[in-house]
Amino acid sequence: MSARTDGGAVGGVRGGGDATEPGRGLRPRQDDGLPHRIARSAAARRGAGLRTEDVPAWLEERRRAHHFKVERIPFARLENWSFDEDTGNLAHHSGRFFTVEGLRVSTSEGPHREWHQPVIRQPEVGILGILAKEFDGVLHFLMQAKMEPGNPNLLQLSPTVQATRSNYTKVHRGAAVKYLEHFTHPGPEGIVADVLQSEHGSWFYRKSNRNMIVETTAAVPLDEDFCWLTLGQIGELLHADNVVNMDARTVLSCAPFPDDQPGALHSDTELLSWFTVERSRHDVHAELVPLAGIPDWKRGASSIDHAEGRYFSVVAVRVQAGSREVSGWTQPLFAPRGTGITAFLVRRIGGVPHVLVHARVEGGFLDTVELGPTVQCTPSASAHLPAEDRPLFLDYVLSTRKSYPSRIRYEAVHSEEGGRFLDAESSYLLIEADEAAAPLVPPAGYRWVTPGQLTSLVRHNHYVNVQARSLLACLNATGLRS
């Protein structure tokens, strides 16, 4: 046989040449012990490292240690970024990182049948990875105090590794990404989760990142910007505003929690069939177009804005930092207008908690629809619409929040990826509902699913969108799975 053999990057093989002996070289298809070790970590409110109550002070200390400074600048002061003369697309001179281009979307339903918008194009697949290790028989996760220019508070608790391919191929000639080798060369037994997941389909064109959790048994030197926390500790921190960043939330949502429930409103086969129908019934056409001259958007000296001031603006910032792979840079960011609402309605059905998912069309999705939260919107962006075109269930969320706070099972403000989005804050909510507010037979495009079913779906590509994954991570941090 041929020359090209596997570099061993993934998967080792036991058993060698004589593999015919029964059972020799085999592994169980599922690691039945793993979900229970995840649950044990989620139940652990104290860990082997920092105490939970000391984490905010530690983050504050790391923030002070790094002298991180971000300021808005006009586009003309971007360094190595410019608008292409022909297309008007905004790109880095190296051709790497990302570009801001135009997107034209047409769909077969909804209040907006066709629109144009700026979109971020970043074809490279990056790695978002959290390293795990047992201390005293409990899994701990290595979290990083990481600065991102778009975070409202600059520094948040982040995955062990956030690396674009540009990062680890050294396009910006900075220092090596710490702990990266655990994710580029994991041992096969150590992989807890490894799946390509989409990011914001309203802002990115077909972006996905590898979401990885890797367990190690090796000694891991602890860098000063990192700490080991249990899932229970991280869950407690998820109740605070703007502490756990988006990348950490999406990776954590892929943790294989056990499902101890007796069933669900719909079997898994029914759920997959419904999803197939949703993916088949929508005609969505999205294509990249030159950013220059897209209708309804205008470019100024310091921002690209929607004509009516809706949705978001494209802006530019200068960053100065000590702890990053490079010490300073300029870049574009997307700055949403207004705070978002990201909410799951929750009901107990037959005693089992269910959340109401929405099969959402977003222009930047690779494949028409993914499952999103019950409500995912920026209320200010739909305020001009007639009542029948406003997002379903938004009124229930807003009025419940105001008048029935006891139905709020979870609420915190979180921000989206601070490397691409400036002050992109949303209220993340889990809200109880009843038959009157949200019937068991919901409107078309909505379905009741259990957290266990969502956990099964996030093992695979492109079922659950990034906002719903964030909410799943928040849900895992409450008692709402059981």
Q: Which of residues 384-443 bind its own copies (CB under 8 A)?
A: 388, 392-393, 396, 435-443
- Span of 272-280, 328-336, 373-381, 423-431 interacting with its own copies by CB under 8 A: 272-280
What span, in angstroms and rounded, lies between the C-alpha atoms of 427 and 356?
Answer: 17
Q: Which of 94, 280, 327, 482: binder of its own copies (CB under 8 A)?
A: 280
CB of 55 to its own copies, least distance (A): 30
CB of 13 to its own copies, least distance (A): 5
Classify residue 274 as exposed, middle or buried by CB count within 10 Å of its CB (0-12, 13-18, 19+): middle
CB of 473 to its own copies, least distance (A): 19
- For its own copies, give the closer residue by CB, 297 or 365: 365
Which residues between 166 and 205 bind its own copies (CB under 8 A)?
186, 188, 191-196
CB of 344 to its own copies, least distance (A): 16
DSSP string, 242-260: T-B-HHHHHHHHTS-----
Crossing angle for the helix pair 466-476 and 246-253, to the nearest 10 degrees: 70
- Span of 7-15, 62-70, 88-96, 371-379 interacting with its own copies by CB under 8 A: 7-15
> What secondary structure letter does DSSP report for 294?
-
CB of 296 to its own copies, least distance (A): 26
Residue with tokens 């079997």: 267
Count the Cβ atoms, other than its own, within 10 Å of residue 362.
Answer: 22
- For its own copies, give the closer residue by CB, 47 or 452: 452
Q: Which of 45, 69, 384, 459: binder of its own copies (CB under 8 A)?
A: 459
Is the distance from CB of 468 to CB of 372 less than 8 angstroms?
yes
CB of 445 to its own copies, least distance (A): 8
x/- mask, its own copies, residues 25-44, rule CB under 8 A, reads xxxxxxx-------------
State how far the alpha carbon of 217 is from the alpha carbons of 191, 225, 255, 261, 445, in Å.
Answer: 12, 21, 18, 31, 44
CB of 168 to its own copies, least distance (A): 12
x/- mask, its own copies, residues 323-362, rule CB under 8 A, reads ------------------------xxxxxx----------
Number of residues that bind its own copies (CB under 8 A): 88
CB of 397 to its own copies, least distance (A): 12
- For its own copies, give the closer residue by CB, 186 or 340: 186
Which residues between 82 and 141 bind its own copies (CB under 8 A)?
123, 125
Buried b (16+ CB within 10 A) or exposed e, 455-466: bbbbeeebbbbb
Q: What are phi and psi of 89, to 5 degrees?
A: -70, 145
Structure tokens at 5: 């053999």
461 binds its own copies (CB under 8 A): yes
Which SS3 state, helix, strand or coil, does residue 412 take? strand
- For its own copies, give the closer residue by CB, 86 or 269: 269
- For its own copies, give the closer residue by CB, 303 or 461: 461
Contacts of 472 (CB under 8 A, 6+ apart): 253, 451, 454, 455, 458, 464
What span, in angstroms and rounded, lies between the C-alpha atoms of 266 and 273?
Answer: 10
